[in-house]
Chains A and B, each alone.
Chain A
Amino acid sequence: EIVLTQSPGTLSLSPGERATLSCRASQSVSSSYLTWYQQKPDQAPRLLIYGASSRAIGIPDRFSGSGSGTDFTLTISRLEPEDFAVYYCQQYGSSQYTFGQGTKLEI
């Protein structure tokens, strides 16, 4: 099973700042199958980025994804108050889907 490790566990920033979230895989992941989600308290996760770098419908362009192989990054260029949430990466490989443990983005 491919293990995804996200860092940092918690990221404390202010509105207007840039956020960089990391997702590292225990073995190589196809970029086509690396996805990012946002989850706010008491809500279901929401799709942000699929295929490592493609924004989902309705996602603002301040969100961007990059990376390949074992290292992937989610960047939020200028934080808005509504961006403070928990972010998860997810991959598909070897017929299994796995999630990272999440990064909490807090003010």
Chain B
Amino acid sequence: QVQLVQSGAEVKKPGASVKVSCKASGYTFTSYFMHWVRQAPGQGLEWMGRINPSDAHIHHAQKFQGRVTMTRDTSTSTVYMEVSSLTSEDTAVYYCARELEGTCYFDFWGQGTLVTVSS
């Protein structure tokens, strides 16, 4: 069955970076875009960007360009998202979610990774 398994919770200081992983299984890794969506405590969902695992092409939300990096490792079917220059406003649950190319919706989500930014 399809699984997206994310790395564990992180606590970071302001100004630091965090890297979250999402390991996919149960489907053809390169056939689906992988997106990152975050949710601050008690707030709604915010799209951050996507990576095409087939060619590593990235498309960011305008807000996150320059501060978010996405990579993939096809040998392990894992995508990574790194956020730099963290502030308290980056405290959130970060989800990976897949999209069958061209459908423009997210049909399966990871379990989420809580990132807490605190001094």
Cβ-neighbour of A100 out of B44, B61, B112 (below 8 A): B44
Contact across chains for A47 and B106 when beta carbons are under 8 A apart: yes
Contact across chains for A96 and B103 when beta carbons are under 8 A apart: no
| Interface: A63 (CB within 8 A) | no
Contact across chains for A50 and B105 when beta carbons are under 8 A apart: yes
Contact across chains for B35 and A97 when beta carbons are under 8 A apart: yes
| Interface: A22 (CB within 8 A) | no
Q: Which residues of A contact B97 (CB under 8 A)?
A: 44-45
Contact across chains for A47 and B105 when beta carbons are under 8 A apart: yes
Contact across chains for B59 and A95 when beta carbons are under 8 A apart: yes
Q: A32-B104, A33-B104 are known contacts. Are A99 and B95 too (CB-CB below 8 A)?
A: no
Q: Which residues of A contact B44 (CB under 8 A)?
A: 88, 99-102
Interchain CA distance A32-B107 in the complex, whole Å: 15
Q: Which residues of B contact A88 (CB under 8 A)?
A: 44-45
Q: For window 78-118 of chain B, which residues contact chain A by CB distance below 8 Å?
A: 95, 97, 103-112
Interchain CA distance A50-B106 in the complex, whole Å: 9
Q: A1-B62, A44-B112 are known contacts. Are A98 and B47 too (CB-CB below 8 A)?
A: yes
| Interface: A13 (CB within 8 A) | no
Q: For window 81-99 of chain A, which residues contact chain B by CB distance below 8 Å?
A: 88, 90, 92, 95-99
| Interface: B10 (CB within 8 A) | no
Q: Which residues of B contact A56 (CB under 8 A)?
A: 107
Q: Which residues of A contact B47 (CB under 8 A)?
A: 90, 96-99
Q: How far is the CB of B37 from chain A (nearest CB, A)?
A: 8
| Interface: A64 (CB within 8 A) | no
A: residues with CB less than 8 A from B are 1, 32-33, 35, 37, 39, 44-47, 50, 56, 88, 90, 92, 95-102
Residue pairs across A and B with Cβ atoms less than 8 A apart, 6 shown, are: A44-B97, A44-B109, A45-B109, A46-B109, A90-B45, A97-B104
